[in-house]
Amino acid sequence: MINMERNLLITGGAGFIGSHVVRLFVNNYPQYRIINLDALTYAGNLENLRDIENAPNYQFIKGDITDEGFINQLFKDHSIDGVIHLAAESHVDRSIMDPLAFVRTNVLGTGVLLNAARNYWKDMEGKRFYHVSTDEVFGSLGETGFFTEETPYDPRSPYSASKASSDHLVKAYFHTYNMPVVISNCSNNYGSHHFPEKLIPLMINNILHKKPLPVYGKGENVRDWLWVEDHARAIDVIFHKGVIGETYNVGGFNEWKNLDLVHLLCKIMDEKLGRQPGESAKLITYVKDRAGHDLRYAIDASKLNKKLGWKPSLQFEEGLEKTVQWYLENQDWVQHITSGAYQEYYNHQYNVR
Ligand code: NAD
Ligand code: TYD
């Protein structure tokens, strides 16, 4: 299967994870034609893909996954026979402000893509529809335990509810139309090209510019962090070897309380920027908690490890150090992506007057 030619549609390829997935597929599979479809919302940025934009097996198309006529035509025009679907509204805080945008893109958009595949794929042989999803569909854990593939869905934010709905649609197309689907549910990613509204890049940016470090509540919420390039590798393995109709959990076996993580970032950056030990940590500011803030996420990724041989490659401290270094060396990227509407969002979210 890996050596055959393919016309592979990757949605959301100009975003954080999508750009790492596009790069990996363009470099590893010269025999595939890779079409990156992205609406270039505030989160999409073609600068993420400058290094591969002229590759002969790569094409970018600007478009919206909720546009049914356009998506149907795209499947025909490009003879699409595989989909890796990442396009989404992805930020929980924004989903609290504007839930319907998440229903539109994440639920309707996924439905439109599935239906275009159903219409176009008369013969399902050799086809594959891969939905990249989140562990947040499982809800919130207490102090102990892990999410497995059998954990019942219990989403609590508009973001996670929209992703759970789209997972259910994907499963419904498998059961009803025999669509060859596969789903993965991954924990929090970190790494280069991460939009600075999310915890790690936001803190890096604020530490650098000596701005307050807004920790929600008491900073006791726990997330399981995974290096984005390890996620991209997992997507490669699952796309090619995952069993049709199954789901795979992807995680870093790497739980951190938010406050501990922010302290670690402060320490790394104090060293890199030649500041006094403890200087950046003075910027930590406790702010109003997120509404419905999930306490803890933790993934049991042993199925993916045992069945498909994947495991994370990078220690967290090393990955975080590389990430900080990338942001320090790519301040132009940060400038470009955060200019315009982002400042308005930031001021509103963090009550900056
Ligand atoms: P992101 O916000 O960085 O990127 C999303 C991309 O989708 C952007 O390029 C944006 O322009 C595009 N997009 C948005 N709406 C669109 C539309 N209507 N039509 C076409 N393109 C559209 O998100 P990300 O963090 O890279 O996440 C990618 C996927 O992975 C999402 O489906 C997300 O739910 C999932 N996921 C993310 C994480 C994480 O930690 N970031 C973890 C697990 C799963
Ligand atoms: P985030 O990066 O938004 O990812 P998610 O909500 O999808 O897990 O947030 C990670 C954690 O960091 C989450 O518990 C909320 C917290 N957080 C803060 O404390 N301050 C912030 O400014 C942000 C953006 C997040």
Q: Are residues 129 and 261 in the same domain?
A: no
Q: Are residues 37 and 165 in the same domain?
A: yes
Q: What is the DSSP string of 182-239?
A: EEEEE-EEESTT--TTSHHHHHHHHHHTT--EEEETTS--EEEEEEHHHHHHHHHHHH
Domain count, the chain: 2
Catalytic residues: 135-136, 159
CA 50 to ligand 2 centroid distance, Å:
29
DSSP state of 133: E
Q: Reduced to 3 states, what is the DSSP secondary structure of residue 157?
A: coil
pLDDT confidence band for 342 (50 / 70 / 90): confident
Q: Taking a C-beta distance cutoff of 8 angstroms, is the pair 12, 87 a contact? A: yes
Task: Tell me what pLDDT residue 2 has.
Answer: 56
Query: Residue 309 falls within a domain, yes or no?
Result: no
Q: Are residues 283 and 209 in the same domain?
A: yes
Q: Reduced to 3 states, what is the DSSP secondary structure of residue 165?
A: helix
Tokens of 169: 């649609």
The domain in which residue 165 lies consists of: 6-190+225-250
Q: Are residues 209 and 237 in the same domain?
A: no
Structure confidence by residue, pLDDT tens digits, 305-320: 999 999 999 999 999 9
Best CA proximity match to 206, nearest among 287, 286, 283, 92: 283
Tokens of 231: 């996620």
Task: Tell me what pLDDT residue 278 has.
Answer: 97
pLDDT confidence band for 343 (50 / 70 / 90): confident
Residues at CB less than 6 angstroms from ligand 2? 92, 188, 198-199, 202, 214-216, 221, 223, 258, 290
The DSSP element (H or E) to which 103 belongs, if any, is none
Query: Residue 14 falls within a domain, yes or no?
Result: yes
Query: Residue 261 falls within a domain, yes or no?
Result: yes
Structure confidence by residue, pLDDT tens digits, 5-30: 899 999 999 999 999 999 999 999 99
Query: Residue 56 falls within a domain, yes or no?
Result: yes
In the chain, count H helices and then E strands. Answer: 13, 12
Task: Tell me what pLDDT residue 158 has.
Answer: 98
For residues 106-125, average pLDDT: 97
134 lines ligand 1 (CB under 6 A): yes
Task: Tell me what pLDDT residue 3 has.
Answer: 55
Instruction: Work out whether the CA dihedral 121, 125, 131, 137 comes out positive or negative.
Output: positive
Mean pLDDT of the chain: 96
Q: Taking a C-beta distance cutoff of 8 angstroms, is the pair 160, 176 a contact? A: no
Q: Which amino acid is at 252?
A: G
Task: Tell me what pLDDT residue 334 has.
Answer: 93
For residues 129-142, average pLDDT: 98
Query: Residue 303 falls within a domain, yes or no?
Result: no
Residue carrying structure tokens 């002229």: 54
Structure confidence by residue, pLDDT tens digits, 212-228: 999 999 999 999 999 99
Task: Tell me what pLDDT residue 351 has.
Answer: 86
Task: Tell me what pLDDT residue 5 has.
Answer: 86
Residue ID of nearest Cα to ligand 2 atom 25: 199
User: Considering every ligand atom, which ligand is closest to the CA of 92?
Assistant: 2
DSSP state of 288: P
pLDDT confidence band for 175 (50 / 70 / 90): very high
C-alpha 245, offset from chain centre: 21
Query: Residue 306 falls within a domain, yes or no?
Result: no
For residues 142-156, average pLDDT: 97
For residues 318-345, average pLDDT: 93
User: Considering every ligand atom, which ligand is closest to the CA of 284?
Assistant: 2
**Structure-model confidence comparison of residues 7 and 341, the more confident one:** 7
256 lines ligand 1 (CB under 6 A): no
195 lines ligand 1 (CB under 6 A): yes
**Residue 328 CB neighbour total at 10 angstroms:** 14
For residues 32-38, average pLDDT: 98
Structure confidence by residue, pLDDT tens digits, 231-287: 999 999 999 999 999 999 999 999 999 999 999 999 999 999 999 999 999 999 999
Strands 284-287 and 213-216 come out as: parallel
C-alpha–C-alpha distance, residues 47 and 64, integer Å: 19
Task: Tell me what pLDDT residue 332 has.
Answer: 93
pLDDT confidence band for 338 (50 / 70 / 90): confident
Q: Are residues 122 and 63 in the same domain?
A: yes
CA 150 to ligand 2 centroid distance, Å:
26
Angle at CA of residue 92, ends 138 and 217, nearest 5°: 95
Q: Please choose from 21, 40, 60, 86 the residue to mutate so as to test ligand 1's pocket, defined by most ligand atoms within 8 A of CB.
A: 86
C-alpha 347, offset from chain centre: 24
CATH number at residue 285: 3.90.25.10
Q: Are residues 182 and 230 in the same domain?
A: yes
Q: How many CA atoms lie within 13 A of 170 on its CB side?
A: 30
Q: Are residues 156 and 286 in the same domain?
A: no
Q: Is 204 a residue whose pLDDT tops 80?
A: yes
For residues 333-344, average pLDDT: 88
Query: Residue 310 falls within a domain, yes or no?
Result: no
Task: Tell me what pLDDT residue 250 has.
Answer: 98
Angle at CA of residue 243, ends 241 and 246, nearest 5°: 130
CA 63 to ligand 2 centroid distance, Å:
29
Q: Specify the ligand 2 atom closest to the Cα of 90.
A: 7
The overall pTM is greater than 0.95: yes
Between the two ends of the chain, the Cα-to-Cα distance in Å is 56
Task: Tell me what pLDDT residue 1 has.
Answer: 52
Q: Are residues 127 and 71 in the same domain?
A: yes
CA 288 to ligand 1 centroid distance, Å:
26
C-alpha 218, offset from chain centre: 25
CA 297 to ligand 2 centroid distance, Å:
12
Angle at CA of residue 1, ends 29 and 76, nearest 5°: 75
